[in-house]
Amino acid sequence: MSGSRDILPDDEIHRGPPITVGRYGPGKRLNHWITASCLILLALSGLSLFHPSLFFLTGLFGGGQNTRMLHPWIGVVLFLSFFILFAQLWRANLPTRADVQWTSQIGDFIAGHEERLPELGKYNAGQKLIFWGMAFFIIVLIATGLLVWDQYFGETTPIDLRRAAILIHSISAVLILLLFILHVYAAIWTRGTLRAMTRGTVTGGWAWRHHRKWLKELAGRGRIDPAE
């Protein structure tokens, strides 16, 4: 059943008062912030190498040579960090029929009429789109990045392949940056969401409004901390 894959080890209702719901444990939050930090550092270092007018950004990394050396290694850390998260969260991000209905009624979500939307599990269709989009573009970026990593693979990559890899790498970098901006905007726009990645919990009201099916599943499975 789709509901069962929404329940992860850190998910638990805390009686309070006030009632809160565990959403992410310390390990997932640490991975999330490492991934986010790497994306920001890669954006800054990548832009500094992309065009001469942005070369001044290399000063943030100790100069051009350091930037060129650090950029691919930060990419490796991003890849490892994100795919630890991926291994833990991919099942909860599989599409469901409710996602199709949610997407068709996206106007109600934007207008704040979530009572008209189907009850959702741990993630909505928008969150799942960002998750799978991030996974896809990170794979593309690491693959194309390795092809143009001069220190290790420069001599073994044909020039035509290198040119294609640089073009695909650049386009993918722009697209993942747009996804990242969308992710940050959505987290800020939906009040109470950032708390999940800072404290690890959300309020009971937030869970009831945005992910009611997930909350009901937790209650139905007895995922409630013992009364004191």
Cα separation, 3 vs 16, in Å, equals 25
Q: Are 177 and 43 in contact (CB under 8 A)?
A: yes
Cα separation, 155 vs 157, in Å, equals 6
CA dihedral 169, 188, 186, 48 (to 10 degrees): -10
Instruction: State the amino acid at position 3 in one-letter form.
Output: G
Cα separation, 184 vs 180, in Å, equals 6
Query: Which of 72, 67, 38, 39 is CA-nearest to residue 55?
Result: 67
Q: So which residues are the catalytic ones?
A: 183
